[in-house]
Amino acid sequence: MNRFLSHATNRIDAKGRVSVPSAFRAALLEAGVRELYCFQDFVFPAISVGGPELLDRFEKQMAAEDPFSDAANQMSLLVHGGGVFVKLDPEGRLMVTDFIRDFTGISTDVTFVGRGDHFQLWEPQAFARAQAEAREGRRQRGPRSQ
């Protein structure tokens, strides 16, 4: 398994930790990820989570820009100013910090959402609404053209 697929909702424990779904932990293990880069998603009220290569990808994009340009500065504000590194504990749990809670509105439960090469942390009802909106948008556009 080399992709993050599906979604699962887990409860935050009394110490503020949540278990990362086993399929997601397996994908992290297979990729050799020991430290997670988390950033505030650019569009959704979600925290995007991946390995250091996710940050590397953004930094390569920024390096291609004039370092004094608006585009590079805006990207740095989002990628560096809105990002942190975290580690899973030995039991595969993630600490749900104020950084996560304040941006997402997560309180008691976390929905983990696979996004292919990374995953996201969502407040469960916000994810349900966003997924329903995406489904409705696809329905309105009709079948894919070939």
pLDDT digits (tens, 9 = 90+) for 7-28: 999 999 999 999 999 999 999 9
Q: Which residues of 85-113 are buried (b: 16+ CB within 10 A; e: fewer)?
A: eeebeeebbbebeebbbebbebeeebbbb
Burial class (CB in 10 A: 0-12, 13-18, 19+), 24: buried
pLDDT in tens, 79-114: 999 999 999 999 999 999 999 999 999 999 999 999
Q: Say how many domains are in the chain.
A: 1
Whole-angstrom distance, CA of residue 9 vs CA of residue 27: 17
Q: How confident is residue 146, by pLDDT bands cut at 50, 70 and 90?
A: very low
CATH of the domain at 41: 3.40.1550.20
Range of the domain at 102: 7-141
Residue 11 included in any domain = yes
pLDDT in tens, 37-62: 999 999 999 999 999 999 999 999 99
pLDDT at 10: 98
Residue 70 included in any domain = yes
What is this structure's pTM?
A: 0.92
